[in-house]
Structure 1
């Protein structure tokens, strides 16, 4: 099979982790006779510096013509004070709009060999974490009408919180469909005791649940849920929530794993086409840029999500995840996840090891099938 992928390496550690992700895709391509046509395009901060805009027209055109988009890293302190139209993050916002991306998928898991990195107590983290956050991308104050003006009491501002049935149903359907492939539980998180938009959200999700009698639906107010995901994260399976609540909760959950750098993210439309990035798309540690120290696992895992959701290559996706688990099991660590008794390796070495274990596991499976 042949697939076209647009690659925005981006800023900071983006080029380094992107190179390792391309390495993994090339390995998968050779083993399964897939052809991944990866075309690098300029975007984010690099594009701002060179062309004065985060996503030049030619880059957008290439992304729209591709089957999927991979982004390594966006932004940094250098662009912290620039206006939104010149901010690197606008490249992501423009792509979301152009591709009509409706839903963000954020898998939150903790590796059994890295549980000691979690800030949670052992009796909580030992139960494990395996949550899929399904976050809307079309509504909320993030996408609503914005005002910033001079009023009766000086400067004033507002952001419209807007939702409709169609927007909510898109993420709701995806949440229930994915729950059927997991543990058949969906937690709807809102603020329906105060917000009209949340009352609508809760109503539509409940109506959608009728189509999925095998899935158990529970409702949680967002403030209570923010505590529950810390005190008992193992009780959650799929979380479906609004744009802003999902943005905050997914970041909270990624931090309680202690390995946010290893988690992936997918932003998809109803056809499965989308943008695939590391969970930490704006990596905060700029001291490691260009030093071959960055952890590439988050972006590599995102490539696995791309194979699964955009290309329907489930076996290939699982093979990547198994290889990552094997590397961690053998004690190899980049600096950010290092603990005493393990082996520190560089960015490119991590990519090489994951590639090697992909080949090893593939060959083992091949022998077992004979």
Structure 2
């Protein structure tokens, strides 16, 4: 059966790295038996430009009809003056909610060839291979928001006669927590059978419920060792001794922060793919980096996170783990050959551009 893929190039460097993904998909189709078709739709700033909204209705409908979605990046300074409900990031939040993409998988793998590119000493990060499982459709990003002026607002022992106040609400149900916990336990079962749950149990009511529910779910997985860390300690441990971790599971906001820390350990966020899955296995796949408007149009962006996102798409949604393995092997081959984009090159080291890196990965796939 022919698989349907929706491409969402978005903004900034998005169209450039999407072009490299299309190059890869075309070779997989023409030479490696991948039965698929793809089409494109606007999202983010491009969605606003095309239809006056960061998530045009037609884009959401196309996403719902697709077997998998490949998204590049959204955002850029030209949209900073828009009302918050029309900002490009709202398109990303909207498609996550619209498709029920509650489970975000963010691997952080340090390729041996890039050990010197990490901000930590090679002996601390060499061999790093961790997975962060982030809850994606709940928590503070989707909670109730309030802004307004309040009278007699208390700040410690002070009473402010009139103050502008903003509130963002963190809310989680036991259902949401149990659902993402099971995803994480299943992932840990396929890896090193160690799961660390990250929360702020000493302060937040939502984190107290989080820990209680994760412990309850752990009874279903007696073969997986469960541990707990407060988020501030987890952040410290990630930069002190990251290889102690196998799989981490955490809330939406904490996962957002911790996955960016993990990205720095690997040498460049330009190397990190991600997958966001719903209950029926449909997924949205995207690099962990942003739209990088400062280098958009220059042809220097690293496309490897996008190409590795294609590999995750093949593995988790399209049933072609064999092709996913080939892509990952091709990336290793290219890195072993010393090819580098600017973000992963050492000072004085030769650098290649976006298209050349894409060409190199395609060539390394073989026939």
TM-score > 0.5 by shorter chain: yes
Other structure's SS at 1:332 match: coil
- 1:2-26 CA distances to partner (integer Å, 9 max, x unpaired)? 1101111111111110010111112
Contact 2:42 2:50 in 1 (8 A): no
Are 2:321 and 1:301 aligned? Answer: no
Residue 192 in structure 1 maps to residue 201 in structure 2: yes
1:6–1:39 contact (8 Å) kept in structure 2: yes
What are the ranges of 5 or more consecutive residues in structure 1 without an aligned counterpart? 364-370
- Could you tell me whether the CA contact under 8 Å between 2:11 and 2:291 is conserved in 1? no
SS in 2 for 1:276: strand
> Distance between the aligned counterparts of 2:285 and 2:351, measured in 1?
27
Choose from 288, 294, 297 the match for 2:295.
288
C-alpha displacement of 1:162: 0.8
Question: Take 1:339 and 1:277, find their aligned partners in 2: how far apart are those partners?
Answer: 26
Picking from 229, 239, 250, the partner of 1:220 is: 229
> 2:345 maps to which residue?
338
- Structure-1 residue corresponding to 2:158: none
Distance 1:247 1:184 in 2: 23
Contact residue 117 and residue 345 of structure 2 kept, 8 A: no
Work out whether 1:24 is the aligned partner of 2:24.
Answer: yes
Describe the shift of the 1:253–1:17 C-alpha distance in structure 2 as closer, same or farther (beyond 3 A).
Answer: same
Deviation of 1:328 (Å): 0.4
Matched residue, 1:347? 354
Aligned-pair distance for 1:163?
Answer: 0.8
Superposition RMSD in Å:
1.4
Q: How many residues are treated as equivalent by the alignment?
A: 357
What does residue 131 of structure 1 align with? 130
How far the C-alpha of 1:83 sits from its partner, in A, is 1.6
User: How far has the Cα of 1:161 moved from its partner?
Assistant: 1.2
Equivalent residues in 2 for 1:204-283 (5 A)? 204-280=213-289, 282-283=290-291
**Separation of aligned partners in 2, 1:312 and 1:215:** 26
Q: Judge conservation of contact 2:117–2:266 (CA < 8 Å) in 1.
A: yes
TM-score for the superposition, normalised by structure 1 = 0.93
Secondary structure of the residue aligned to 1:344 is coil
> What is the correspondence of 1:319-330 to structure 2 with a 5 Å cutoff?
319-330=326-337
Instruction: State how far apart, in whole Å, the 2-side matches of 1:342 and 1:326 are.
Output: 18
Secondary structure, in 3 states, of the residue corresponding to 1:288? coil
Deviations 1:38-92 (A, max 9, x none): 1111221122123221121212111111111111111111112322221111111
Which whole-Å CA distance do the structure 2 matches of 1:289 and 1:5 have between them?
Answer: 24
Structure-1 separation of matches of 2:297 and 2:163: 46
Normalised by the size of structure 2, how large is the TM-score? Answer: 0.94
Q: Which residue of 1 aligns with 2:179?
A: 170
Structure 1 residue 155 displacement after superposition: 1.3
Would you identify which runs of 4 or more consecutive aligned residues in structure 1 move more than 6 Å?
none
Structure-2 separation of matches of 1:58 and 1:108: 34
- Separation in structure 2 between the aligned mates of residue 244 and residue 315 of structure 1, nearest angstrom: 34
Look up the match of 1:7.
Answer: 7
Match status 1:316 vs 2:315:
no
Match of 1:70 in 2: 70
CA displacement at 1:340 relative to structure 2: 5.5
Distance 2:242 2:87 in 1: 35
Shift of 1:279: 0.8
Instruction: Look up the match of 1:367.
Output: none
**How far apart in 1 are the matches of 2:271 and 2:38?**
23
